[in-house]
Amino acid sequence: MAAEAKLDPMHQFQLETLAGANWNIAGYNIAFTNSALWMAIATVVLVVFVSGGMKRQLVPGRWQMAVETFTGFIDGMLAANVGPAGKKYVPYIFSLFMFILFANFLGLLPLGVLGLHAFTFTSHFSATGVLAIMSFAIVLGVGFAKHKLHFFSLFVPHGTPVVMIPLIFCVELISFLVRPFSLGLRLFVAMMAGHVLLEVLSSFVISSGNAGIGLFAIAGLPSFILMVGICALELLVAGIQAYVFALLTCVYLNDAENLH
């Protein structure tokens, strides 16, 4: 008989303390959670992946070729969006892209069949927001280090009438400051929405299976088929969202480097 379904689709996003429930620094709890665990796993996978591609063999193997392909992809993205000055950002953008990519894919692993539960920490705005703020801080640092106060000219497009400068400056400044929020929110919403939908459909499958073969044929089987299709779509979304996050970071770095 099928197991009873959990009808709370948000249950999969709950943080659970794994160690150090009473660990505190300056009044803030720093317990090791399932989110921190999967961040650590994603980091280890990234380190292992990069380490396997650092052999620099004359005739590269598949692993080395995979790492070089991704590195070349990021290098090309920066060259297209930032120009020659973008080459120095390859390590950061590569690490950012691969970290998000691995995090998204790890969260889709069907570990439930083994009694384990994968956790997608990119479905938490606290995680994606920190990544966005980190990228935004680099953009600000580069902008002010290279252009000093002239960096504020980014908020006044060339050719703006003098009388419109105060209004345009305020609009452009607000638009600029919203960037880290929108950057983190986009990834968070995309990953959370897909997982919620899969959870709801799985509850339909389990509930209809418990109700009988007739209801399963009407509601459960179509839901299961739809789940398979959405799982394939989620794999695509996982890659696209990592790409979009890295691409927008490159665009923001271009503003800092070239004041376009």
Taking only the tens place, the pLDDT of each residue in 123-153 is 889 899 999 999 999 999 999 999 998 888 8
Q: How confident is the model at residue 80 (pLDDT cuts 50, 70, 90)?
A: very high
Q: What is the 3-state secondary structure (H, E, C) of 100-118?
A: HHHHHHHCCCCHHHHCCCC
Nearest to 191 by CA among 253, 113, 131, 136: 131
Taking only the tens place, the pLDDT of each residue in 158-168 is 878 888 988 99
Q: Give the phi and the psi of residue 166 in degrees, each rounded to 5.
A: -60, -45
Mean pLDDT of 108-132: 84
Q: Which amino acid is at 52?
A: G
pLDDT at 94: 95
- Across 142-173, b (16+ Cβ under 10 Å) vs e yields bbeeebeeebeebbeeeeeeeeeeeeebeebe
pLDDT at 154: 87
Task: Write the CB contacts of 96 (distance below 8 Å, at least 6 apart in sequence).
Answer: 131, 135, 245, 246, 249
Kindly list the domain boundaries of the chain, sorted by start residue.
Answer: 15-258
Cβ atoms of 129 and 180 closer than 8 Å: yes
Q: How confident is the model at residue 170 (pLDDT cuts 50, 70, 90)?
A: very high
Mean pLDDT of 42-62: 83
pLDDT at 252: 94
pLDDT at 249: 96
